[in-house]
Structure 1
């Protein structure tokens, strides 16, 4: 059924696991109950997931490196009855008596704009998403999914593992995120489809042998910077991109990504609304039956029905009434030869309302004034970064995303004068 790194777990492994769960006094009586799991063993996590889905239990996967006390807090916050750790370890009983009428997958939002929210989706809604994903996106039917991202998040679990199993494929879950190991696996898997985060994908592109091309890559989570995207396009036969949110799952897929912000055609089981063109973006809103989901993302739909991402609503910077979108500045800064990573965010400003702030990583020390001069010849004056900081590392969350809100609340600030 699956590989975890180089180890194969077949139907026999999952059959034996299910039999053990049925005999367990807690998992054997799982219907209507909510189970959190925090384990470094992807095969065990997946076996619990599939068992609970089949037997009416609810499932909440917690990112494996989370400390136990933190995992307990998360499980309590998500109203779980039990918290599982590694195989053969006793379950922790939690103080929750509410019964789930419909069994659910529990996820949390990314938390890029504040405290992560607990989000539940019924297994039926997950099945509908997977069915729509597979029928709409048929190109990878003969590809081997390499899932180099956590299966505790929707992207890895649903789009990666559950979609692969629905196709009848054998996904390879890679939790040995060592660049050399990942490169070896990619090179040894001819028709691979790599599911990963933008940062890791960019690292793979930089390290991949010059005389080789990646077969297929799926990116998600955030729009790739222009320079990263161009390098990926040059190095990869098939560049796919998907867009989604925790509440709705995957919303759109691009089967032939030509620009970084072109996030694809909406899946057929959803209705998607946004702005009409690049000059007038609006919030991306999803409807499914009677349910309306506000994504808090700005975007637009072109005359061919393709959805484009512009910015998070909360990430847009209002400078004296003029809208500034972080990606526009980031792409310009990344054109500087020494700059390898850039992130733009906002801080309050007593004169303009908000000001543009920049953190960047470079191979050499760069003066803030040089960055500002470079931008000054390529951007409008209201788009220019005011606070500029060079750093060794830009902190990311477990899913590879940047928390711009946290950056905006940081106190380090180096004005770029001159």
Structure 2
């Protein structure tokens, strides 16, 4: 049993749709996988459970995705069918017809390092992850899971719903992310565990009654900034964080989060390689002990991390994406280290550090920031002085760019490369406009000079 926006959905209600699915010719594993981009959460979950039970591969696509883009994703992932809007709107892609030999779930990667790609995991490998998650992370056995994040993504679907059901719990899913509505439900539950994004957790904690605390939260994906983490942690009894990737699912869970970089103990079905200390981080490489159905045994994450021992347990820590690390004067600048400090400035609301190519230095660090008022030249100079006081000299950004808002992906992550490219494109456009203006101004002057006799 589970609930969607406070409406209870029974197993009987879900199973009642199975006969309809079994009679649908386009839901035949012999023809291939199915992309699902529909409004109804009940229909999506019913089809997902059916697919898992009957050996069909499905690819969930967020319902807000335009049809042309959803079709592009479906075609690229090799899906034979796209269900768009409703279960009745069937779009066949005959050139992709092919028997599915390893049924499972197709997910889109976050796209933080470039073009999002489709990644398939078999249902058996997902069952393996769920079993390892439940066995390793026992603290929530007495808690009520509340999922306030997309269930088209593995975080909400697998760790929220599948794990909740495997524990014998009643998962509660919220599709309309209204903080006050969510808060009302959380206050009525005994020992709620909120699965959500850093921004939603922060909002709920700020709204939480002063004389009590939210029982438990789980965060994943983008790391919280240090100020947000400290603010939220003060309002929560149990603060959990997990780390994973599209190819392996959840990799590690932390029950003792004392800083935002702590991502916890590795799940039992995996082994992980990483650095030995913060001073010597290395790429986080995941080794799957028993890869199933063609799953890659060794997964290179392109993330930098390290292990240490806390409370007698080996804890994994995230440092930065390798691609995001900026080398300044031979020293590594990790964007989050700088962002966490910058966000303690009283006037700064949001910030992202990214690198720009430089013909002399190779790369330089640039800071895009949002402030509570428009900075004057004097404010900007003062901000730079403040940064010199609070950061190491090599960490101070080369330039500061104020913006109204910072572009983020739906999961809250930032694509630093895309931000850098957009800024570079803006500079090029402004440069062209300036050249055009100069030509326009100089042309009449030239014509006038030709008319005036010497």
TM class by smaller structure: over 0.9
Q: Distance in 2 between matches of 1:132 and 1:2?
A: 22
* Separation in structure 2 between the aligned mates of residue 100 and residue 387 of structure 1, nearest angstrom: 52
* Aligned twin of 1:90: 89
For 1:250 and 1:323, locate their aligned partners in 2 and report how far apart those are by CA, in whole Å: 28
Q: Secondary structure at the match of 1:409?
A: helix
Aligned to 1:295: 301
In structure 1, C-alpha distance between the alignment counterparts of 2:122 and 2:87, rounded to whole Å: 28
CA drift at 1:240:
0.2
Listed as ranges, the gaps of 5+ residues in structure 1 are 414-418
CA displacement at 1:372 relative to structure 2:
1.4
Question: Corresponding residue for 1:416?
Answer: none
C-alpha offsets along residues 256-280 of structure 1, whole Å, 9 cap, x if unaligned? 2111111000001000010000100
Question: Distance between the aligned counterparts of 2:70 and 2:327, measured in 1?
Answer: 38
- Aligned to 2:381, the other structure's residue is in SS state helix
Tell me the CA shift for residue 88 of structure 1. Answer: 4.7
Structure label with greater radius of gyration: 2
Q: Distance between the aligned counterparts of 1:368 and 1:187, measured in 2? A: 43
Instruction: Find the counterpart in structure 2 of residue 401 from structure 1.
Output: 413
In the other structure, the counterpart of 1:305 is 314
CA distance in 2: counterparts of 1:87 and 1:14, whole angstroms: 16
Correspondence 1:69 to 2:68 = yes
C-alpha deviation, 1:212, in angstroms: 2.8
Deviations 1:331-353 (A, max 9, x none): 11111122222211111122221
RMSD value, Cα: 1.5
User: CA contact under 8 A between 2:29 and 2:99: conserved in structure 1?
Assistant: no
Q: Which moved more, 1:148-157 or 1:343-352?
A: 343-352
CA distance in 1, matches of 2:87, 2:41: 15
Report if aligned partners of 1:104, 1:121 keep a CA contact under 8 Å in 2: yes
Query: Stretches of 4+ moved more than 4 A in 1?
Result: none
Q: Identify the residue that residue 214 of structure 1 maps to in structure 2.
A: 214
1:368 aligns with 2:380: yes
Rounded Cα–Cα distance in structure 2 between residues aligned with 1:170 and 1:85: 29
Name the structure where helix makes up a greater proportion of residues.
2
Change (3 A) 1:14 1:383: same
Corresponding position of 1:228: 228
SS of residue matched to 1:19? helix
C-alpha distance in 2 between matches for 1:369 and 1:98: 62
Distance 2:366 2:213 in 1: 36
* Residue aligned with 1:302, SS: strand
Choose 276-285 or 340-349, whichever is displaced more.
340-349
After superposition, give the CA deviation of every residue in 1:281-317 in whole Å (9 maximum; x if it has no partner).
0000000137100010000011441000000111111
* Counterpart residue number, 1:198: 198
| TM-score (norm: length of structure 2) | 0.88
> Which range is displaced more, 41-50 or 305-314?
41-50
Deviation (angstroms), 1:391 = 2.1
Shift, 1:180, TM fit: 1.7
Is structure 2 residue 51 aligned with structure 1 residue 52? yes
User: Where does residue 332 of structure 2 map in the other structure?
Assistant: 323
For the residues of structure 2 that align with 1:109 and 1:212, how far apart are their CA atoms?
38
Q: Which residue of 1 aligns with 2:17?
A: 17
Match of 1:343 among 352, 367, 376: 352
Alignment match of 1:352 (pick from 361, 364, 373): 361
TM-score, structure 1 normalization = 0.95
Distance apart, 1:370 and its partner CA: 2.4
The answer to whether the 8 Å contact 1:153/1:399 transfers is no
CA distance in 2, matches of 1:55, 1:74: 24
- 1:391 partnered with 2:403: yes
Aligned partners of 2:366, 2:201: CA distance in 1, in Å? 26
Query: In the alignment, what sits opposite 2:146?
Result: 146
SS of 1:112's equivalent in the other structure is coil
- Secondary structure of 1:340 counterpart: strand
Q: Which residue of 2 aligns with 1:239?
A: 239
Task: Tell me how far apart the structure 2 counterparts of residues 86 and 64 of structure 1 sit (CA, whole Å).
Answer: 7
Secondary structure of the residue aligned to 2:279 is: coil
